[in-house]
């Protein structure tokens, strides 16, 4: 896995909207925050556009992504929001362009598709807060993103959860939004199971929808081959009494037979506590009385 260079003060960071349209005011707020980080934010031509539910046509969104990739002055690319639409771009980007122009791609939610694109090309990327968070929040997650972009590798420690499965694992961290990952199953952008510490998060999905997607991972043998599992935040849903168990208990039922660590309620997802994670990095997950996740950028 290739790691893009970390940023220096004054480096240009390009803001693009590869998926849904966004309130331009949120992009302006994110730009202000990035300026305060002593970076040089520049908006893509169509970042503030609108075309139906999208920020632009496929060609317009692809233009902004490719221009950011090709421009040697751009050292990182931050996606303004998720929504839906990134999947339109995957087969239109030559992975060799990514390999020859290494730079950090930042985002989460629907941007999970672009993380899959980056990892398919052998490039690490950042599952991290986007424009709304940067415009409205000045918290640990935003500070951690700044530090990571400037080369300070995080080590996260969180409180224990009663459903955790204790243990220690080292592997390549991969994952993101569960629905997006499910939509990439069976394609060249699907993640390899062996040696993977998988992290998942979701928004607005019924518990039985989540169980259905995880059954796909189980029956395909993927869950059995993982090195570890990080269950992030699942938001904007209601527990289903007809399922007889909570969503976290449903997830645990599907993985507790495997001999690897599982951590619940990790701060990643559609929440303010959305810790930046390095997709494609070698990570170590230790779960005991507390849980730690650390990264190593060297083999």
Would you tell me how many other CB atoms lie within 10 Å of the CB of residue 71?
A: 15
Q: How far apart are CA 168 and CA 260, in angstroms?
A: 7
What's residue 297's pLDDT?
A: 78
Would you tell me how many other CB atoms lie within 10 Å of the CB of residue 45?
A: 12
CATH topology match: 12-149 vs 155-296: no
Contact 228, 197 (CB under 8 A): yes
Q: How far apart are CA 192 and CA 63, in angstroms?
A: 29
Q: Would you write out the chain's pLDDT as a tens digit for each of its 299 residues?
A: 999 999 999 999 999 999 999 999 999 999 999 999 999 999 999 999 999 999 999 999 999 999 999 999 999 999 999 999 999 999 999 999 999 999 999 999 999 999 999 999 999 999 999 999 999 999 999 999 999 999 999 999 999 999 999 999 999 999 999 999 999 999 999 999 999 999 999 999 999 999 999 999 999 999 999 999 999 999 999 999 999 999 999 999 999 999 999 999 999 999 999 999 999 999 999 999 899 999 987 64
Largest CA distance in the chain: 55
Residues tagged active-site: 109, 201, 270
Where does 87-152 show beta strands of DSSP type E?
104-107, 125-127
Q: How far apart are CA 274 and CA 268, in angstroms?
A: 4
Per-residue pLDDT tens digits for 13-63: 999 999 999 999 999 999 999 999 999 999 999 999 999 999 999 999 999
Question: Which class is 12-149 in CATH?
Answer: alpha beta
User: Hey, where are the domains in the chain?
Assistant: 12-149, 155-296
Whether domain 155-296 has CATH 3.50.30.60: the reply is yes
């Amino acid at each position: 896995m290739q790691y893009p260079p970390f940023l220096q003060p004054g480096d240009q960071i390009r803001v693009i909207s590869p998926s849904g349209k966004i309130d331009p005011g949120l992009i302006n707020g994110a730009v202000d925050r990035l300026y305060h980080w002593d970076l040089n934010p520049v908006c893509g031509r169509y970042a503030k556009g609108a075309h139906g539910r999208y920020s632009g046509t496929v060609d317009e969104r692809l233009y902004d992504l490719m221009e950011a990739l090709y421009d040697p002055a751009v050292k990182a690319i931050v996606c303004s929001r998720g929504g839906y639409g990134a999947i339109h771009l995957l087969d239109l980007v030559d992975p060799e362009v990514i390999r020859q122009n290494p730079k950090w791609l930042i985002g989460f939610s629907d941007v999970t598709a672009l993380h899959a694109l980056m990892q398919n090309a052998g490039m690490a990327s950042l599952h991290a807060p986007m424009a709304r968070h940067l415009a409205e929040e000045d918290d640990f997650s935003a500070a951690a993103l700044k530090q990571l972009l400037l080369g300070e590798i995080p080590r996260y420690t969180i409180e224990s959860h009663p459903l955790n499965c204790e243990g220690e694992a080292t592997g390549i961290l991969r994952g993101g939004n569960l629905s997006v990952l499910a939509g990439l199953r069976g394609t060249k952008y699907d993640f390899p199971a062996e040696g993977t510490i998988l992290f998942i998060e979701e928004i607005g999905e019924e518990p039985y929808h989540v169980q259905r997607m995880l059954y796909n991972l189980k029956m395909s043998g993927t869950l059995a081959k993982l090195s570890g599992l990080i269950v992030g935040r699942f938001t904007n849903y209601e527990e289903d009494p007809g399922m007889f168990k909570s969503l976290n208990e449903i997830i645990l039922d599907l993985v507790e037979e495997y001999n690897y660590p599982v951590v619940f309620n990790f701060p990643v997802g559609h929440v303010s506590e959305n810790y930046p994670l390095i997709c494609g990095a070698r990570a170590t997950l230790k779960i005991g009385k507390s849980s730690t996740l650390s990264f190593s950028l060297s083999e």
